[in-house]
Structure 1
Amino acid sequence: MPLKDFKRLSSELRFNDKSTRAARRETDKLALRKEWVESLPMMYNPGLNVTVAEFLLGFRGHCLFKQYMPSKPAKYGLKIWAACDAKSSYSYNMQVYTGKPAGTQPE
């Protein structure tokens, strides 16, 4: 798929259902539909070598779990961990860091 088509499709995809957003926000800070992340392992079987990558997705808007990382090129953004196949770089699983849960140990 050409990069131009991928960027256009990515900008048009929505994984958030407005009718259930308020109820989900009570228990989940991210409040996004998780079907996409849950379907990643069903679409691909990774090889023997899997890499866990931590990256900062640059974002300067209003967000309760925005992170500041001075060592990154984009200093403010969303911190994401991704388990990727080392050969193809396909994301097998992802997790957005939404902060330390109340009353628990840090991740």
Structure 2
Amino acid sequence: MFVTPAYAQAAGGAASAFTSFVPLILIFAIMYFLLIRPQQKKLKEHKLMVEALRRGDQVVTGGGIIGKVAKVHEDGVVEVEIAEGVKVRVMKATIVQVMSKTEPAA
């Protein structure tokens, strides 16, 4: 009639240890499919967009500057012409969006 808590806990066994981890596993699975996986997909798309930059593309930088790509350097830098005769150098990673693509030369 008077069972101590130590004996009551020992009666559960290995099955209760597994069932206590099920909610934790479910929370991790939900976090993976709702947060981690979409973020990885977005990063992959951004990387492909930045790699496909070429001269003449109209782009938007992270600071909100709209300009036309004048030159693509190999070291991760792009020259963007923001006004006639005014060129700025920006990192490729700061390009947020490509507004219009130029057609490749035939």
TM-score (norm 1): 0.25
| CA radius of gyration, larger in | 2
Return the structure number with greater helix share. 2
TM-score (norm 2): 0.25
